Amino acid sequence: MSLLVILSTYAMEDGQTATSVPHHHTKYKKADLKTVCQSQTELTVEEKSQLEVLLRKCEPLFDGQLGHWQGQEVKLELKEGAKPYHSRAYNIPRCHM
């Protein structure tokens, strides 16, 4: 399970998971980082502590508020009738780097 999914699940109100509600209807509350870290059963005590230290460095990201893009505006123009395509990620051979 990814960190984003873990935090989203803990941050949702009313016990709903992030995937059970359309994105524009989600209501978040501040994530309790200590609870999130302590609930990671696959981590050792030391790893849980390290995770909490790491998350605390970025604590404003988990305040329950959606942010605003601060960079340059991006516009994507799609061809008429274009369909999304997804393929698996693959490594680029070192010789091409």
Q: Convert the pLDDT of each residue in 26-53 to its tens digit.
A: 677 889 999 999 999 999 999 999 999 9
- % of the chain beyond a pLDDT of 70: 73
- CA-to-CA separations, 91 to 12, 67, 85, 87, 97, in angstroms, rounded: 34, 32, 19, 13, 11
Pairs from 11-16 (Cβ < 8 Å, separation ≥ 24): 11/62, 11/64
Look at residue 5 and tell me whether its pLDDT is greater than 70. no
The residue among 21, 51, 56 whose CA lies nearest residue 39 is: 51
Quote the pLDDT of residue 1.
Answer: 43
Q: What is the mean pLDDT of the chain?
A: 78
